[in-house]
Structure 1
Amino acid sequence: MTLRRETRMGYVYDHLHLRSRDAVAAARFYGEVLGARETGREGGESPSRIILDLGGMRMFIEQAPEGTGPAAVPPNRGIEHIGLRVEDIEATVADLAARGIPLVSGITDVRPGLRIAFFEGPDGVRIEILQRG
């Protein structure tokens, strides 16, 4: 008879790590468009990593070395997108459009109480905005 040992580890979210062709420009996008706040830099004048806080989510944006392959094209396996909740999806979509940020898909009513839309961030990162209510 084999006893199965149950493990209950205490996992806690720590960060999301992105690689970018231009870490400085990507960090600027997340700050200017999504309100992320820079909390640190590593690597001196040409940073190798920029650390942001995006709505309580810590993001590391690393300068990708030359020769790093492109991002996967959704739909794909692995991490497919970042989801950000907003209070007013119509106002958010209008704000993004006014900033010249193209939507990948317009507002969709998934089910009662859930509306979503997608746009593309730097380096092919797909970003979902969603309104629950």
Structure 2
Amino acid sequence: MHDQKTPFAAVWDHVHLRVGDPEAVAAWFETMLGGDILRAPGRVDVVLGGQKIFLLQAPGTDKPSPAHPHRGLDHFGLSVKDIDEVADRLKAKGVRFSAEPHTPRPGIRIAFLEGPDGISIEILERDEKYQ
């Protein structure tokens, strides 16, 4: 789909993350969030919620992610059904939350997970029941 503002048809293809240990990060996405690991020569990727996440070894792995707030990609969001139940299941698996489920404005409930290597992941549910 395109319009006057976008002179070409574009759809999302992937998100690319630089991480300290791609295998460990892929395993976390698989174990904690149900992602599917894809391997190709010299790389490991994950499919999560239909989205490809490319995981590449970061050069200088002793350099952590920047402290929040910073410029650049801040987080990515995953839409879920029954966010409170999902949060409880993730906590039971040992996932840490940087923000518990809350309703920042009518119609949406959100929470933030602490992923590996400082990756911030939002889970959200859009529903009119949240006021």
**TM-score interval for Structure 1 and Structure 2 normalised by the shorter chain:** 0.7 to 0.9
1:121 pairs with one of 115, 119, 126: 115
Which has more radius of gyration?
Answer: 1
Q: What value does the CA root-mean-square deviation take over the aligned residues?
A: 1.7
User: Cα distance, 1:65 vs. partner?
Assistant: 2.6
Q: Give percent identity, aligned residues only.
A: 41
2:31 aligned partner: 32
Question: How big is each residue's C-alpha offset from its partner over 1:62-107, in whole Å with a ceiling of 9 and x where there is no partner?
Answer: 1223356321222222110010011011111111211111110111
User: Residue 66 and residue 92 in structure 1: after superposition, are their counterparts in 2 closer, same or farther (change >3 A)?
Assistant: same
Q: Spell out the pairing of 1:1-133 with structure 2 (5 A cutoff).
A: 8-43=7-42, 49-67=43-61, 69-133=63-127
Count, aligned residues: 123
TM-score (norm 2): 0.85
Q: TM-score with structure 1 length normalisation?
A: 0.84
Instruction: Report if the CA contact (8 A) 2:19-2:61 is conserved.
Output: no
Runs of 4+ more than 4 Å apart: none
**Could you list the per-position Cα deviations for residues 39-84 of structure 1 after superposition, in whole angstroms to 9, with x for gaps in the alignment?**
22332xxxxx212111110111112233563212222221100100
Structure 1 unmatched runs, 5+: 1-5, 44-48
Q: Describe the SS at the equivalent of 1:12.
A: coil
Structure 1 residue 128: Cα displacement: 0.4
What do the CA deviations read for 1:93-123 (whole angstroms, capped 9, x no partner)? 1112111111101111022220000011011
